[in-house]
């Protein structure tokens, strides 16, 4: 299977969910209501959770030696690592925390039974011990900041000038039609990176309220040997070398878990796969009064899938198939965490390139009346929300879920296995290797100190998220996920990423964005700068819309002849999934054969100066991007700029 796996919806699709087989014909509302849309399994009042089993294995034939396969690994023998926290320097920029973070190649062992692998990671300078940087060789240290206290970061690129997955770079440069962005007519294709660049990088603070010059957009990339993309920018330029850039972050977000990751133009997918990602926590001192688990009882989980050669080195196989074959959490394959019989807060990030996960917590059948341990959702991408009892949830690439899981009712020695079920890599109808087990929580530690003093989830008084109400005159903007031909480049509105911005948004305005997805795959859509709410979804006659949209393109794209979406809708609007409702989001699942609507309340970039650095605030016009967070799709042009203007 190739990196471009989506296709127009021209024939039936079926998925398995529990005991049901849902035949998803084009535009059929039953499919949308019964499971392909449903990301959350809520805990019904007084009703045990229904059992659901993983579908039969699909993907690469285990006898096929043309695609690398991870050797057999014993599960739950490696303890879960916890990324270290970077230490700020408060002396350089008064009123701000300062970090220096270096991207470099190192090594990391993903499993006891695997040899060390070459990996890429972020390393933070330790201001107390400059010769002992903070990192682990893979991923990056956690940056933990207080709300509204700004951060300044210098990023330094010390990576090799030959890529860890050079064969992918070579294929893109040589025009491989499955990997290289090919512009739809009448546009001209442009190479995503220059002929003398095999590695370049830029860091994006995902979910951040950030001025454009610090946002880490692809065309701000810079290489280890100092080659700059066309929109490269840096704050405080007198303090940087050509392989460095300084960014300023406002930290005006609500208390939440953001993350930072590579966004290099044309090679985000392989850069992140090599290890370039880390967590960014926004803390609010007021949260200490909420009674949430803290310290060792607050556990970050960075969830990815990877494939390994026999020697333990990383194998990138997504030029040949969808997804990879082994779960990796915080850099370890099939880890375990010994826990006490008490409540834990789990901060989960899906940092996979392509894979959706449908997660639950399985317990032995003789422990509870039901086979899954219930838990509570207390937050999503943009921070805390009203607690919601759940049994499972669907998490797309780049989404974050904040959970309270209570192990206190389980006997000592109980193993709670985090499992993944019924979530093909390209959800809901893709393939790729099936991964059914991920990690294990082992209730083997005695309760430390006094009894658990945290607040029971049903009694939590968390900040609520007021719904954004659209008004009759609220501006609507459409984004059509267009693919010119099977396995070809995907674009928004049949316009390549490299074309100048065509969408101009008045500062301070509210808009509804409609993601029109006529394909068979779901796509996680990420909008830079803003948080939004999911408004609704609506099924559509995807095949007819696709055909008429093609005719409109071939006819010269005359505005007056453009297909009217309302003529293709096949059912009433469907409310957001329960885990999305009244939540602040920065990434949304755009389900297949569906219009997904989000509402963005205020397009207002941060214009104030950060840490007295001239030019650190946003200026108008202010251009940002949005894109699919299936990283292989993003690299292959499913991304567009948009611009905020004063008038």
Residues 432-454: tens digit of each pLDDT? 999 999 999 999 999 998 889 99
Phi and psi torsions of 286, nearest 5° = -65, -25
Mean pLDDT of 415-420: 98
CA angle centred on 100, ends 94 and 102, rounded to 5°: 170
Mean pLDDT is lowest, of 60-64, 100-104, 325-329, for 60-64
Q: Are 421 and 359 in contact (CB under 8 A)?
A: no
Q: Supply the Cα-derived Rg of the chain in whole angstroms.
A: 23
Q: How deeply is 185 buried, as exposed, middle or buried, from its count of CB atoms within 10 A (0-12, 13-18, 19+)?
A: exposed
What does the alpha-carbon distance between residue 69 and residue 82 come to, in Å, rounded to a whole number? 27
Q: What is the pTM of this model?
A: 0.92
Neighbouring residues of 325: CB distance < 8 A, sequence distance ≥ 6: 59, 60, 69, 70, 305, 307, 433, 435
- Residue 225's CB: how many other CB atoms inside 10 A? 13
Neighbouring residues of 92: CB distance < 8 A, sequence distance ≥ 6: 98, 152
Residue 52 in this model has a pLDDT that exceeds 70: no
Residue 331 in this model has a pLDDT that exceeds 80: yes
Mean pLDDT of 304-310: 98
pLDDT computed for residue 57 by the predictor: 30
Residue 51 in this model has a pLDDT that exceeds 80: no
Q: Are 213 and 233 in contact (CB under 8 A)?
A: yes
Q: SS3 of 166, please?
A: helix
**What are the beta bridge partners of residue 120?**
105
What does the alpha-carbon distance between residue 434 and residue 415 come to, in Å, rounded to a whole number? 22
Q: How confident is the model at residue 249 (pLDDT cuts 50, 70, 90)?
A: very high
pLDDT computed for residue 36 by the predictor: 36
Tokens 């939004």 identify what position?
A: 532
pLDDT computed for residue 44 by the predictor: 36
Of 318, 332, 295, the C-alpha closest to 75 is 332
Across 275-286, b (16+ Cβ under 10 Å) vs e yields: bbbbbbbbebee
- Residue 451's CB: how many other CB atoms inside 10 A? 8
What does the alpha-carbon distance between residue 14 and residue 543 come to, in Å, rounded to a whole number? 16
Phi and psi torsions of 298, nearest 5° = -110, 115
pLDDT computed for residue 63 by the predictor: 55
Q: SS3 of 18, please?
A: coil
Terminal CA-CA length for the chain = 46
Model pLDDT for residues 309-322, shown as the tens digit of each residue: 999 999 999 999 99
pLDDT computed for residue 38 by the predictor: 44
C-alpha atoms less than 13 angstroms from C-alpha of 188 in its C-beta half-sphere: 2
Element (H, E) at 167: helix 166-173
CA angle centred on 503, ends 566 and 182, rounded to 5°: 90
Residue 171 in this model has a pLDDT that exceeds 50: yes
What does the alpha-carbon distance between residue 356 and residue 395 come to, in Å, rounded to a whole number? 6
And the tokens for 99? 């970090």
Residue 365 in this model has a pLDDT that exceeds 90: no
What does the alpha-carbon distance between residue 302 and residue 195 come to, in Å, rounded to a whole number? 34
């Amino acid at each position: 299977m190739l990196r471009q796996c989506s296709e127009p919806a021209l024939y039936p699709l079926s998925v398995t969910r529990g005991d049901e087989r849902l035949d998803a014909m084009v535009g059929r509302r039953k499919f949308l209501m019964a499971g392909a849309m449903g990301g959350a399994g809520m805990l019904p009042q007084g009703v045990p959770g229904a059992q659901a089993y993983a579908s039969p294995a699909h993907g690469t034939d285990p006898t096929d030696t043309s695609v690398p396969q991870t050797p057999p690994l014993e599960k739950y023998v490696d303890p879960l690592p916890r990324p270290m926290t970077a230490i700020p320097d408060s002396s350089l920029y008064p009123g701000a925390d300062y970090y220096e973070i270096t991207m470099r190649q190192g090594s990391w062992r993903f499993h006891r039974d695997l040899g060390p692998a070459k990996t890429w990671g972020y390393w933070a300078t330790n201001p107390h011990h400059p010769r002992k940087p903070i990192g682990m060789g893979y991923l990056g240290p956690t940056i933990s900041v207080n709300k509204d206290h700004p951060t300044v970061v210098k990023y330094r690129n010390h990576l090799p000038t030959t890529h860890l997955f050079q064969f992918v770079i070579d294929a893109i440069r040589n025009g491989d039609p499955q990997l290289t962005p090919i512009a739809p007519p009448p546009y001209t294709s442009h190479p995503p990176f220059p002929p003398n660049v095999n590695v370049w990088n830029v860091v994006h603070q995902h979910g951040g309220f950030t001025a454009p010059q610090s946002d880490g957009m692809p065309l701000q990339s810079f290489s280890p040997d100092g080659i700059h993309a066309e929109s490269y920018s840096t704050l405080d330029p007198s303090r940087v070398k050509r392989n460095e850039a300084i960014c300023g972050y406002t930290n005006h977000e609500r208390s939440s878990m953001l993350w930072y990751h590579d966004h290099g133009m044309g090679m985000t997918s392989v850069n992140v796969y090599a290890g370039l990602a880390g967590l960014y926590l926004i803390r609010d001192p007021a949260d200490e009064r909420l009674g949430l688990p803290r310290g060792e009882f607050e556990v970050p989980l960075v969830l990815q899938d990877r494939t390994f050669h026999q020697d333990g080195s990383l194998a990138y196989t997504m030029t040949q198939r969808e997804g990879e074959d082994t779960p990796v959490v915080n850099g370890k394959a099939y880890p375990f965490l010994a826990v006490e019989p008490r409540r834990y807060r789990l901060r989960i990030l899906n940092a996979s390139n392509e894979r959706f996960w449908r997660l639950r917590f399985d317990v032995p059948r003789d422990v509870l009346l039901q086979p899954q341990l219930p838990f509570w959702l207390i937050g999503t991408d943009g921070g805390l929300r009203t607690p919601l009892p759940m049994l499972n949830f669907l998490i797309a690439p780049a989404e974050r879920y904040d959970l309270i899981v209570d192990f206190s009712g389980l006997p000592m020695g109980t193993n709670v296995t985090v499992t993944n079920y019924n979530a093909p890599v390209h959800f809901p109808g893709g393939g790729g290797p099936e991964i059914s087990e991920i990690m294990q929580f082992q209730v083997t530690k005695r309760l430390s100190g006094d009894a658990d003093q945290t607040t029971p989830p049903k009694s939590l008084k968390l900040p609520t998220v007021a719904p954004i109400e659209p008004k009759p005159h609220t501006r609507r903007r459409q984004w059509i996920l267009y693919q010119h031909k099977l396995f070809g480049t995907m674009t928004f509105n049949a316009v390549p990423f490299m074309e100048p911005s065509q969408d101009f948004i008045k500062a301070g305005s509210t808009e509804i964005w409609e993601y029109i997805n006529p394909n068979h795959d779901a796509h996680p859509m990420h909008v830079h700068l803003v948080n939004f709410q999911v408004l609704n979804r609506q099924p559509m006659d995807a095949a007819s819309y696709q055909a008429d949209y093609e005719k409109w393109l071939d006819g010269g794209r005359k505005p007056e002849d453009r297909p009217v979406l309302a003529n293709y809708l096949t059912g009433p609007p469907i409310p957001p999934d329960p885990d999305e409702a009244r939540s602040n989001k920065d990434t949304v699942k755009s389900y297949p054969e569906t219009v997904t609507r989000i509402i963005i309340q205020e397009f207002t970039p941060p214009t104030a100066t950060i840490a007295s650095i001239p030019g650190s605030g946003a200026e108008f016009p202010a251009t940002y991007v949005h894109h699919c967070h299936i990283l292989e799709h993003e690299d292959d042009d499913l991304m567009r700029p948009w611009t905020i203007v004063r008038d």
